[in-house]
Structure 1
Amino acid sequence: MNLKLLLGLKRLTDYKSESRRLSKQIARIVGALVCSSLIFTAVFVGTPRVASMPQAKAAAPSTLRNAAIVATTVTILKETSEIRELAILRPVKSGAQSRTEIERMIVRNLDEQTTPAEMHATELALKKLGLAPPEFQYRPFVVKLLTEQVAGYYDPKAQQFYLADWIELQGQKPVMAHELTHALQDQHFKLRRFEKWPKGDSDAELAAHALIEGDATLAMTLYMAKNPLIALAFIRSLGGSNMASDQFKQAPRAIRESLVFPYEQGSEWATRVYKRGGWASVSQAYAKLPLSSEQILHPEKYFDYETPVKVALPELRTMLGTGWKRIDYDVNGEWSLYLILDQFLNASAESRRAAAGWAGDRYALYEGSKPGDVFTVQLTAWDTQNDAREFFDAYAKRTWRRYPNSKATEITSGDDIKAVNATAQIPVRERHDWQTNEGRVVVELQGSRVLIMEGIPGNADTKALSKASWQ
């Protein structure tokens, strides 16, 4: 991914020319450092950072360590407040935590915020869409990833900043600036309101976290620009090019890129908003939240406040046969659709073009009583019929590569094809139908919408499922 914090652009900041001396490679390192789990940012709007640093010095005794963190917190909070233009409304408590304390906190908060059923549904969806291998176990992976990554965070519940007690303090000041920006956000914008996001629109939740993390990453970047010696100490503390833990490097691509999204794309978005109206405009975004990953990827759509189209799908479990149940019902959004496409197209520009033009979507995930019985249905809406056609073609290409041994049982095209929904004004222009070793796959285009069904069980009526989904 191209991590661009746009440090060198003219008039990005009022600070002196230090900002132009920070290279894009430094910006890339900054972006990699503040990666964290999307699940976890729902709990700690702060940034877990890389803990595996070979040059870290032995930690000081806890009392001295805590005293040093408290004193440094006061200094950096004051400077961050000036950079971010948010007044300090109250002091921020801070302290050190051991690795055991941080690991215990991770598991506790993960269990509080995410049910086993939700973790199971995410794992099944990743596997069904080909985004993770069949043997992948999501929850154990996330726990291990976070215990490796987290070395500092701001907890809105306790209104306290914590830094790991095994990492040398001097090189961590930029991370503290990032986390203390979260403390200032919390004082002014009440971050706990983002902890219990309504279910059913993960894309809007992702956009909100991109605002929060993009804001903090931009503030951190400007802090580094103002303090180049601290920035150099920070970079030296990384231990060369070892920017991420082994667990992060081993993560499926879709997970890695999703973890980075709030920081990379979020900081690019925050920079655009900042250049348009300064920090006041960024602050105003907490009252007028970005509504979708599309608005983050295309800031002009946020400025126009283009509202996503609401898309609904009916309950289909009775049409799938006995023993089926719906276990997820959510919105993918432009970013997730891009990841689904590019996992197999492996052509970023093509995948981004195909996912652009997104207007709205809805997907549902169903699980049967037998192992391996998984069915997904996606109904996507697009700005124009041309946008829909481009996505339809890309998804068909992706499906051929996703199921290389599949057999195409039906490929139809032409404006004379009858609409699946008899009351529709626009006919289905094209339909692809494959038989795969994971069930039947159908992709249909109708006007400015595309319907995708994967894993249709053999005893199900495909035409009836299609008709019901279009209605």
Structure 2
Amino acid sequence: MNRGRLFTVVALVVLSGCALPGSPDGFDADRELGHVGEYAHDDVFEFDASDGLTEAQLEAVKHRSMARIEVVRGLKYDRDVDLEVMSRAEYRDRRSDGTGNASAFANEIWRGAFVVDGETDVNRAFDDLYGDSIQGYYVNDRIVIITDDTDEIRIDRRILVHELTHALQDQHFGIARESETIDGIRAENGLLEGEASVVPGRYDRRCGDEWQCLPAVQPPATGGETLADLPFNAGLFLSIYVPYAEGPPFVTDLHDRGGWDAVDAAHEAPPRSTAQLIHPERYPATEPVDVSIPDRSSDEWRPITDGGDGEARTETIGEATLFATLWANGVIERPLTEGATERSQYNYSHSATAGWAGDSIRVYQRTDESDRTGHVWRLAWESRADAAAFGDAYRQLLANRGADRVDTAGNGVYRIPEGEAFEGAYRISVTGETVEIVGAPTVDDLEAIHPAESGSTQRTSGAALEPTATLEPAGISEPTPVDASRRSASASPDGPPKTPRAPADG
């Protein structure tokens, strides 16, 4: 998401907006670490935060929190950050008013991944997810805290510290994302969200004996006892939540290797795949491979291109979203918390997806100007066994969705009946370390989009991925823009809750 698509937020309370004394544009560079404006990290406030805060009190809490983050992170803020409070109803209205329908490309990508069905617009699914789960976000030197009740100003310190950490990241490293794919953006966000979750944890350890702190309030549950009971799309949630679940252990691993210097260095060379988040030992050496798809479509179908250059547009789904796909469709039946640690509330590692090496998916559209779409998806795996394991899992997914095997010469063809959520035809083939999947409205369309003849998959190590969007649950953050003014949203990172809240715009 780029800056031009950010919708305008109208705050109910505006709490800051001017630079503090010391510099006309920001803070005094020579000031002592842990001192912001008139406040120091060890200040004790006399007011009682349990009854809500006045605007002046919240401003004081914000600056004391900034001073404490400086002590924890060892970095100084260059300038002040605005703080606003907005009702959830206002946020939902503003988000829905600023959201158009998703493109045919985006809808087919998420349908092809069996996350959002063909009857649902992907942008509306994101609206529902964020509207129910977001707890706050950061964008352009401004933090917006989302609350269900704006009659009294109440701030969860972990959400505030999370978003203030994004502001510090922005001032020192920038939070623009280099990637453009689903997987690449989730990976880069894993570094940003992981650090913004680790810092509040280290902050919390000083509360009580060393620092007087605001309470950390767990947000109310959204209803239901499991992820499947949530009022938004569970597979979509799991896809966007991976930076919040696997980012903290990734950043902790970096810190264990080389302290904050190692985290600083990662901002210059961020992770390139969610596989590196889920398996930190693969960073930085094991980058995703490039997977190419030869175009063998008939005149009835054409690949959707990227802009006016005529080049076929592709997307990379990645290990984390593949896990979300299999979990949400009943292939992975274990609880998400099985194998989780204190650092990560959900475990995204599974034998059917852990051997992911790279993937590429291309969307095709009918040339008769109808709205019918299909896709070709190639996935590269570390070994033949890994490819076979995912192939078996994908066939189980089709079975769970009611697919029947179709007796054709090409083999590997299945059809989900009309009227079902993901109705259509699918062909899967496993060749060596490669899995190829073709999806289309009908069996005949499979051959028209991508004939079953064997084709080679070219793989090259270290290929860069392309960019997309970001989030966070038990408190979620909204997607971050792709340029230097990325925004962040957060939800309460405490967990694992029975009913997690969606991410913050972190």
Q: Which amino acid aligns with 1:289?
A: P
Distance 1:393 1:98, change over 3 A: closer
SS in 1 for 2:314: strand
Partners of 1:274 and 1:202 lie apart in 2 by 26
**Higher deviation after alignment, 245-254 or 377-386:** 245-254
Give a deviation string over 1:60-115, Cα, whole Å, max 9, x none: 7xxx42x233211110000011112222222323344455764565457x65xxx6
TM-score, length basis structure 2: 0.65
Question: Structure 1 residue 133: deviation in Å?
Answer: 4.5
How far is 1:146 from its partner?
2.7
CA distance in 1, matches of 2:2, 2:322: 19
> What is the deviation of 1:135?
4.0
Matches within 5 A, 1:277-288: 277-288=258-269
CA offset digits 1:43-68 (Å, max 9, x no partner): 79xxxxxxxxxxx99977xxx42x23
Report if the CA contact (8 A) 1:70-1:93 is conserved. no
Q: What are the superposed Cα offsets for residues 345-390 of structure 1, whole Å, 9 maximum, x if unpaired?
A: 1335998111111111101122446878332211111112222222
* Structure 1 residue 465 corresponds to structure 2 residue 451: yes
**2:284 is aligned with 1:299:** no
Aligned residue number for residue 449 of structure 1: 434
> Residue 215 of structure 1 aligns with which residue?
195
1:364/1:169 Cα in 2 relative to 1: closer, same or farther (>3 Å)?
Answer: same
Ranges in structure 1 where 5+ consecutive residues have no aligned partner? 1-37, 45-55, 412-430
Counterpart mapping for 1:95-110 below 5 A: 95-97=84-86, 102-103=91-92, 106=95
Q: Please say if 1:346 is aligned against 2:368.
A: no
| Residue number among 151, 159, 173 corresponding to 1:189 in the alignment | 173
Give the secondary-structure state (helix, strand or coil) at the position aligned to 2:120. Answer: coil
- 2:360 corresponds to which of 356, 359, 362: 362
| Cα separation, 2, equivalents of 1:139 and 1:302 | 32
1:73 aligns with 2:54: no
Q: Could you tell me which residue of structure 2 aligns to residue 11 of structure 1?
A: none
C-alpha displacement of 1:134: 4.9
- Contact 1:106–1:143 (CA<8 Å) still a contact in 2? yes
Contact 1:92 1:161 in 2 (8 A): yes
TM-superposition CA deviations, 1:123-177 (whole Å, max 9, x none): 343334432345434323433443343443221x2x1223347455555122111
Assess if the C-alpha contact under 8 Å between 1:354 and 1:394 holds in 2: yes
Contact 1:70 1:95 in 2 (8 A): no
How many Å separate the matches in 1 of 2:300 and 2:395? 30
- Calculate the TM-score normalised by the size of structure 1: 0.70
Distance 1:392 1:81 in 2: 49
* Secondary structure class of the residue paired with 1:190: coil
2:387 maps to what in 1? 388
> Residues 296 and 75 of structure 1: is their aligned pair in 2 closer, same or farther, counting only changes over 3 Å?
same
Aligned partners of 2:101 and 2:121 also within 8 Å: no
The CA distance in 2 between the partners of 1:141 and 1:271, in whole Å, is: 32
| 2:377 corresponds to 1:378 | yes
Q: Does 2:324 align with 1:326?
A: no
| CA deviation vs aligned residue, 1:252-286 (integer Å, no higher than 9, x gap) | 22112123211111112111112222222112110
Give the superposition deviation at 1:245: 13
Q: Does 1:289 align with 2:270?
A: yes
Secondary structure at 2:294's aligned position in 1? coil
Contact 1:445 1:451 in 2 (8 A): yes
Q: Tell me the equivalent position of 1:89.
A: 78
The 1-side partners of 2:115 and 2:386 are apart by 24
Inter-CA distance 69–163: structure 2 relative to 1 (3 Å threshold):
farther
SS at match of 1:353: coil
Q: Does structure 1 residue 255 correspond to structure 2 residue 236?
A: yes
User: Distance in 1 between the 2:279 and 2:94 partners?
Assistant: 36
Please state if 1:204 is matched with 2:187: no
Q: Which amino acid aligns with 1:90?
A: R
Counterpart amino acid of residue 323 in structure 2:
Y
CA distance in 1, matches of 2:92, 2:222: 25
**Structure 2 residue identity aligned to 1:184:** L
Shift of 1:225: 2.3
Answer yes or no: is 1:233 the counterpart of 2:222. Answer: no
Are 2:101 and 1:123 aligned? no
The higher relative CO (CA closer than 8 Å, separation ≥ 6) is in: 2
2:164 aligns with 180
For residue 329 of structure 1, report the CA deviation from its aligned partner: 1.8
CA distance in 2, matches of 1:383, 1:145: 34
Query: Counterpart of 1:183 in structure 2: which amino acid?
Result: A
- Partner amino acid for 2:290? K
> d(CA) in 1 for partners of 2:443 and 2:160?
55
- The structure-2 alpha-carbon separation of the partners of 1:287 and 1:253, relative to structure 1 and needing over 3 Å to count, comes to same
SS of the equivalent of 1:251 reads coil
CA drift of 1:248 comes to 9.1
* 2: CA distance, partners of 1:244 / 1:401: 23
* Structure 1 letter corresponding to 2:452: S
CA distance in 2, matches of 1:246, 1:402: 19
SS in structure 1 of the partner of residue 72 of structure 2: helix
Distance 1:351 1:292 in 2: 14
Q: Residue 336 of structure 1 aligns with which residue? A: 321
Is this contact kept in 2: 1:81–1:181, CA < 8 A? no
Partners of 2:194 and 2:358 in 1: CA distance: 23
Question: What code does the residue aligned with 2:138 have?
Answer: Y
Q: Retained in 1: the 8 A contact 2:426–2:443?
A: no
Which amino acid counterpart does residue 346 of structure 1 have in structure 2?
A: I
Distance 2:65 2:353 in 1: 41
Query: Could you tell me whether the CA contact under 8 Å between 1:388 and 1:449 is conserved in 2?
Result: yes
Corresponding residue to 1:147 among 116, 131, 134: 131
Following the alignment from structure 1 to structure 2, what is the Cα–Cα distance between the partners of residues 456 and 101?
39
Q: How far off its partner does 1:205 sit?
A: 1.2
1:164–1:204 CA distance, 2 compared to 1 (3 A): closer
More divergent stretch after superposition (211-220 vs 445-454): 445-454
Percent pairwise identity: 23
Give the root-mean-square deviation of aligned CA atoms.
3.8
Amino acid at match of 2:82: K
CA distance in 2, matches of 1:331, 1:121: 13
